[in-house]
Amino acid sequence: LPRAEAWGAHLEQGTLEPWGQEAQWLGNMSRFQASSLQRRLPQSIIIGVRKGGTRALLEMLALHPQVAAARSEVHFFNREENYRRGLGWYRQQMPLSRPGQLTVEKTPGYFSSPRAPNRVRAMAPAMRLLLIVRDPVERLVSDYTQILHNRQARHKPYPPLERLLLRGDRGLDTHHKAIQRSLYALHLAHWLAAFPPAHIHVVDGGSLIREPLAELRHVEQFLGLAPWLGPNNFYFNQTKGFYCLQAGARPRCLDESKGRPHPPIAELLLEQLCTYFSAHNERFFSLVGRTFNWC
């Protein structure tokens, strides 16, 4: 395979004209590689959390030669219209992969879906699950920011976060979706009822931003991947304020929707959110056996 890859690179660059036995060998090798490519059900899923860094994690993993990453969110296990289409349809949403490659998909909507854990387990009891988390208040504000931007891009109004979450003397509207999505302990309990803790790896979203390589080493180990990614795969983009990816000579940053500045939020609301999430965070820390510096 290394020989085929080297010759293939020369052909793509137009620096080599194969002839004779080499041309025949290369043609046979190309046909062999093409015939071994298949769409396979995932062996690992990034299940959440929404606005926690799932796209960054997937893009980083996609640099690994042992990983075949599905580029679009599939929403198979959390949307009835997709789940009814069956596993054959789900498989067709996966990328082509070689034998030995790990197929990974990410849909952050799975984490907060009550039905998703048992559906994933019914398909693959040995599934390796990746859960990336960040400060629940930051996650909530980032979630709101994305919706606000999308509405503004369509010239549609959207109320301030304070109006959405505060109900006068009644305080926080704790049933609001944005708050519910940040109740990590509540949703993780559903996954732990379907999978043993050893099948769920928690990624620190804050650490992934600050020190991506250190966090990815743990992910590689959890997924059974050979250590591959190194310092040369990352560079800090001063304009965006976070690390971007480097694949050979090709730099790649996440799109403009990532790292978008948050609108100003009233300090009173932020304090109320921190207070409300405090007990929920402690339960989450207990479930995963580690703590995070949140709020």
Task: Determine if residue 48 is labeled as part of a ligand binding site.
Answer: no
What was the pLDDT predicted at 76? Answer: 98
Residues 41 and 76 sit within 8 Å (Cβ to Cβ): no
Task: Determine if residue 259 is labeled as part of a ligand binding site.
Answer: yes
Residue-wise DSSP of 230-269: -GGGEEEETTTTEEEEEETTEEE---TTTTPPPPP--HHH
Provide block-wise average pLDDT over 10 residues at a time, the chain (295 residues).
37 37 44 74 98 94 96 97 98 97 98 98 98 97 93 92 86 94 98 98 94 94 94 80 76 65 91 97 98 94
What was the pLDDT predicted at 17? Answer: 39
Residue indicated by tokens 């559906």: 119
What was the pLDDT predicted at 5? Answer: 36
Task: Determine if residue 139 is labeled as part of a ligand binding site.
Answer: no
pTM higher than 0.95: no
- CA dist., res. 289 & res. 1, Å (int): 42
Residues noted as catalytic? 51
DSSP for residue 135: -
